[in-house]
């Protein structure tokens, strides 16, 4: 499951957890934690919007998590959003073979991304991320 975690300074990050078939937290995910918090650099806040498992091919067992990243330093409350994506290994760690740190943020200039999702395009692990983009 995916969502966001907020720290004491109100900085939001991706939160991903894995549960067993009986609903309990899978303690083998991310070295006994059962969850992983992916923080983005600088003043970027982020909200995960789902989990897409890679079920076949050489990347089988990994997961892609699409979401929205935004910079809230302007104080406007609803700043321009960017597409964000994180890829995890089957063990729950950030997949550093994906953009060196496991995280990618795509900026659309003054456009605001308000929702997004992802699909695995083929067995090679190519990912199609889609969303809603509006311009002021």
- The tens digit of pLDDT for each residue in 26-64 reads 888 887 678 888 888 777 888 888 888 888 778 888 889
pTM: 0.82
pLDDT tier for residue 111 given thresholds of 50, 70 and 90: confident
Per the structure, the complete domain to which residue 9 belongs is given by 2-134
Q: How many domains does the chain have?
A: 1
> pLDDT at position 80, please?
61
Beta bridge partners of 56: none
> pLDDT at position 21, please?
92
Print burial letters for 110-121: b (CB count within 10 Å at least 16), e (below 16). Answer: ebbbeebebebe
> pLDDT at position 101, please?
93
> pLDDT at position 74, please?
52
């Amino acid at each position: 499951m995916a969502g966001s975690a907020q720290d004491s300074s109100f900085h939001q990050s991706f939160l991903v957890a894995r549960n067993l078939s009986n609903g309990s937290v899978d303690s083998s995910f991310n070295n006994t934690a059962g969850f992983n918090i992916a923080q983005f650099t600088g003043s970027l806040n982020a909200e995960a919007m789902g989990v897409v498992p890679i079920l076949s091919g050489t990347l089988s067992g990994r997961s892609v998590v699409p979401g929205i990243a935004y910079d809230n330093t302007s104080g406007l409350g609803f700043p321009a959003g960017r597409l964000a994506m994180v890829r995890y290994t089957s063990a729950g760690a950030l997949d550093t073979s994906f953009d060196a740190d496991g995280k990618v943020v795509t900026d659309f200039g003054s456009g605001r991304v308000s929702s997004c999702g992802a699909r695995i395009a083929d067995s090679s692990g190519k990912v199609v991320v889609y969303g809603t983009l509006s311009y002021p």
